[in-house]
Structure 1
């Protein structure tokens, strides 16, 4: 990786395992780091409160952006409490935890804020290696979005995806290498049902997180 120690970065931040690992990765590689959190009608407000708490713990400037309109667009189980979450990917479609357009909108909002702050670098925790089949977590999407945002704003943004090719076991390893394993394990909220650390244990996000943790601890 190039030396970005004299440049700033904006991190898309939810207070979960992935974005918290990315936050500390960014703090390790950039001069000043800013955390951007989104309120989009997600199932629980605890996610936002936890993101702000971790940002404060890490001495990172925190901004919350109201993007509630996302919950009014396409039906999904993360913004519609009446829908039961898919426990696994259906054979002929994406799991209903997929929020259509979310990552594209998040990156657009983030780039607009980065533009105003004169920040080139945007960090997001999407991953193609170990995910739920979401099309907006793919490397091809990120590259396309990066090019589009550069053209739209006549800016040379760089979207960093430090977890893109890491499975969950390797994400735990990265947190350990950054010296924040315990913080990520005990303080983050990945659970779709709003429970910190190990979570509910049965939602898709918890299953993926805890499986990766078990695999990493067995190898550690």
Structure 2
């Protein structure tokens, strides 16, 4: 990472992208966010985005001047083509390909194509995503090898020198909680717990120590498992 003047965070409103937003704000002079409406059933995450952004500026004044515009891109046509348990009335289960039915084929690839077009227009060289290879839900487009290939293709196809940063790539969910604490202390941990949304079922009624959620979908299971491991370790920080 050489250019710290500006970055674009792929921001869903979930735990991982919220931590990535804080990570970006601690490093870059100007940070913009982009969200994608691809027809996801848990669209409550799109509303969580506004709450997270609002409370980050209110609770972390040192970052307020760095947080720039938010962009929402409509991609419902893509979501209709790439049907999954996140976009259609379908059970959450393993498919015949050995992938979870929550996998939206090509989603992260398309996200970065759209984000790169926006970043090009906004003059932003770094794009930041919350993809994680160590503790993920079985999605092949979360792998660093995949994103390295995407970065190469975008730079070739757009005559650019984009950098795709994935600060959570090698972290477990427990370590992600630790990174949040190192970036913003208990205030940021509390914000992630209360304001971000990760549950695939869109459950904002049931509150747990680790946040809102149904407690049974893969996203909730990963989030709860990471939280419990982090608490059992004494809630340590992780070097940012």
- Shorter-chain TM-score bucket reads over 0.9
Aligned-partner Cα distance in 2 for 1:136–1:3: 25
Residue 195 (structure 1) aligns with: 203
Aligned-partner Cα distance in 1 for 2:87–2:48: 18
Q: State whether residues 37 and 48 of structure 1, in contact with CA within 8 Å, keep that contact through their aligned partners in structure 2.
A: yes
Aligned-partner Cα distance in 2 for 1:108–1:137: 15
Aligned-partner Cα distance in 1 for 2:214–2:79: 23
Aligned-partner Cα distance in 2 for 1:105–1:172: 28
Counterpart of 2:29 (choices 28, 31, 34) is 31
Residue 49 (structure 1) aligns with: 47
- Cα deviation digits, residues 186-207 of structure 1 (max 9, x gap): 2110000112423110000000
Aligned-partner Cα distance in 2 for 1:46–1:74: 20
Counterpart of 2:218 (choices 204, 208, 212) is 204
Q: Aligned with 1:41: secondary structure?
A: coil
Task: State the 4+ residue runs in structure 1 displaced beyond 3 angstroms.
Answer: 2-5, 89-92
Give the TM-score normalised by structure 2. 0.86
Residue 181 (structure 2) aligns with: 176
Q: How many residues of Structure 1 are paired with residues of Structure 2 in the alignment? A: 215
- Cα deviation digits, residues 164-213 of structure 1 (max 9, x gap): 00010111110111111111122110000112423110000000000000
Q: State whether residues 3 and 29 of structure 1, in contact with CA within 8 Å, keep that contact through their aligned partners in structure 2.
A: no
Aligned-partner Cα distance in 1 for 2:121–2:219: 33
Deviation at 1:90, TM superposition (A): 5.2
Counterpart of 1:75 (choices 83, 95, 116) is 83
Residue 157 (structure 1) aligns with: 162
Q: Aligned with 2:102: secondary structure?
A: coil
Counterpart of 1:120 (choices 122, 125, 137) is 125
Aligned-partner Cα distance in 2 for 1:198–1:52: 16
